[in-house]
Amino acid sequence: MSENIEKKLATVKYNCDVHCHLHPNQADCLICESKCCEYVCPAHVYEWSEERQELMVNFENCLECGACKIACEKKSLGWEYPKGTKGVIFKQG
């Protein structure tokens, strides 16, 4: 992750869940050509690991915008809101 986005995300307050609310279909990710979730996500939640051949999901950084679900080339990204008490807490929105 670039230093630039890391610094930005450090300003965001979260109440992180231990359970992930984003569910990529890894079989689809494996054959997905664009892997566009890697760059449409404003919080750099997604990163393809060549080594593990798997889409890594840093869901703790999620800003809950929904861009990944809409952009997903395979239309197979399971996306739900974090539990009521969890997720991002914007203070300056």
Q: Which is nearer to another protein, 20 or 71 (CB)?
A: 71
Rounded to a whole number of angstroms, the minimum distance from the CB of residue 34 to another protein is 7
List contacts with another protein (CB under 8 A): 4-5, 7-9, 11-12, 15, 34, 36, 39-44, 63-67, 69-71, 75, 80-85, 87-93
Taking only Cα atoms into account, the Rg of the chain, rounded to an integer number of angstroms, comes to 13
**Whole-number minimum distance, CB 56 to another protein, in Å?**
17
Beta strands in 1-93 (DSSP E): 13-15, 22-23, 46-49, 54-57, 78-79, 87-89
> Which residues have CB under 8 Å from 72's CB, separation 6+?
24, 36, 37
Nearer to another protein, 54 or 76 (CB): 76
